[in-house]
Amino acid sequence: MISMAKPIIGDEEKNAVLEVLDSGIIAQGPKVKEFEDGFAEMCGVRHAIATTNGTTALHLALLAYDIGPGDEVITSPFTFIASANSILFVNATPVFVDIDPRTFNMDTSLIEAAITPKTKAILPVQLYGLCCDMDAIMSIAKKHNLAVIEDACQAHGSEFKGKRAGSFGTGTFSLYPTKNMTSAEGGMITTNDDVIMEKCRVVRNHGMRRRYYHDELGYNFRMTDVHAAIGNAQLAKLEKFNQKRKENAQFYDENLKGIAVPFVPGGYTHVYHQYTVRVPDGKRDDLREFLKEKEIGSEIYYPVPIHKQGFYMEIFGDEKSYPETEFAATEVLSIPVHPSLSKEDIELVASSINEFMSKG
């Protein structure tokens, strides 16, 4: 079976974990600090704050900006549920804008119409490893005095005009095993804002500035040194992993026929967390079946837009429609692109897709 994802864990990761276990410091300690410093450097920002996962990174970032009941946050309906759920965790309201059908990211020309006096933040999702138009988003945010919290959970190392995902506003990352790098479970917040950094650190650890004095409500979102040790070893390999993803993507770009390959606007660096094609004419599900018979994995990210998820419809009603998102959900298919695929794997995936598409 050619799988959709496979974490690459080598001796570096194993030895780093054993070293931590032998050291006696296994909760949040020096390895977490090292991981935060290295991650901040990778993104080109001043601070990084490690958390337990990408979902808590989003939750913590929203808390740090004091976003709460009555506030609205603008985001994409075409993403993993965590992007929008984090807004619900702080009792704020997600407000969706439709996507650009070419990039699958928020259509920035629709953002201003969605802004109300209650809007506090824009939460762009850098989907599949491609950044949104961050010039447009940052200038709208500046004009309307809004925070920008990037969901960069799929975009480690991705660039827009030479700047990395997570360095525009405050960034949030996931380190789940299927992502471009992993710490088993883990998350990271990146920011240049000293106040946000401080707030994140305090709220991550039960609102505690002074030992056992709790000035505000906090959580336990701390990463362990065991996870950070894996993260450090993976961070050292990220550029190599991403390079391999780009090479795999380039092979598909050059060889796939009859389907729309990912569109990468000039000035963007895609890191292909997913290589997602559009399969026209209602053939997507049949192609997926065909690949499955050849033992080739594929996945639909995402079959149900957030506003169509059951409990969202219960809370917000079912009148809202985002046509490009709903249409994309019927056409998208992500195919294996991860760094441990062999040349033969990639060739088989491409020739199988071409075989299916040429059957008409």
Ligand X SMILES: *Cc1c(COP(=O)(O)O)cnc(C)c1O
Q: Which residues bind ligand X (CB under 6 A)?
A: 53-55, 79-80, 82-83, 125, 151, 153-154, 174, 176, 187
In whole angstroms, what is the distance from residue 32 CA to residue 25 CA?
A: 11
Taking the least distance from each CB to ligand X, the nearer of 164 and 283 is 164
DSSP calls for 277-306? EE--TT-HHHHHHHHHHTTB--B-S-SS-G
Taking the least distance from each CB to ligand X, the nearer of 157 and 187 is 187
Taking the least distance from each CB to ligand X, the nearer of 28 and 352 is 28
Taking the least distance from each CB to ligand X, the nearer of 251 and 302 is 302
Residue 106 C-beta: closest distance to ligand X, Å:
12
Unique residue bearing structure tokens 């985002």: 322
Burial class (CB in 10 A: 0-12, 13-18, 19+), 33: middle
Contacts of 106 (CB under 8 A, 6+ apart): 75, 76, 97, 98, 99, 100, 124, 125, 132, 137
Residue 156 C-beta: closest distance to ligand X, Å:
11
Q: Closest CB to ligand X belongs to which residue?
A: 54
Say whether 309 sits in a helix, a strand or coil. coil
Taking the least distance from each CB to ligand X, the nearer of 180 and 352 is 180
Peptide linkage before 275 cis (omega within 30 of 0): no
Which amino acid type is present at position 346? I
Taking the least distance from each CB to ligand X, the nearer of 78 and 356 is 78
Residue 83 C-beta: closest distance to ligand X, Å:
5
Residue 175 C-beta: closest distance to ligand X, Å:
7
Residue 93 C-beta: closest distance to ligand X, Å:
18
Residue 305 C-beta: closest distance to ligand X, Å:
13
In whole angstroms, what is the distance from residue 330 CA to residue 145 CA?
A: 36
Q: Report which DSSP code applies to 332.
A: E
